[in-house]
Amino acid sequence: MELMFDLETMSTNPDAAIVSIGACKWDGEGIHDTFYAAISLADSLRYGLHKDPDTVAWWKKQPIEATLAWAQDGKPLKQALQEFVDWLGPDAKDHTYYCWGLNFDVPILATSLERVGIEKPWKYWNLRCARTIHAVFDTGKIAKREGVYHNAKDDAVTQATELIRILNAG
C-alpha cells in the first residue's frame, strides 16, 4: 500500500507549526482510506514550532473553505500525530510515503514528531517525491482537483489520484 500525505503549516521552515495533516492510502486501483486531523496552532507553538508572518498573511488571502477545517477545534499536536501514526497501522515502516515535495512535508513532520517524542513511522528509503514524478511524466498540470484546494486531506487525495492516473497511463 502506498501512502500520500500533506500538511498545512504556518511557515515553510523545517520547524513549521502544523495546523492540519491529511493523508490517504492508495494503490494502482484507487484511494482506499483517508485520514485528517486539524491541529491547534496554539498547541503547536507550545512546542517551539515556527509561525511566519508572511505565511499567516498568505493564509488570510486564501478562500475561507481552506482554513475552516483547521481554524477551529484543532487537536493537541501530540494527539493528532499519534492518531496519524496509529492510522498508518502496524506495518507503517513498510509503506512507501509520497508527498508533494520531499523538502517540505517530510522535514516538517519529522521535526514535529521529534518535538512530541514520537518515532518517525517511515524508513528514509521509503520516501518519494510525487511532484518530481508528476514533472517527469506529465505536462505539469493536475488533471482534476478533489475537494478544497489547500485542505490537507483533499490535497493528498488529489495528489494520489494524479499519481494513479500517471502510473496507469504508462
Domain at 164, CATH number: 3.30.420.10
Which range marks the domain in which residue 128 is found?
2-169
Number of domains in the chain: 1
Each residue's pLDDT expressed in tens, for the chain with a length of 170 residues: 899 999 999 999 999 999 999 999 999 999 999 999 999 999 999 999 999 999 999 999 998 998 987 887 799 999 999 999 999 999 999 999 999 989 999 999 999 999 999 999 999 999 999 989 888 887 667 877 878 999 999 999 999 999 998 888 86
Backbone torsions φ then ψ of 145, nearest 5 degrees:
-90, 135
This prediction has a pTM of: 0.94
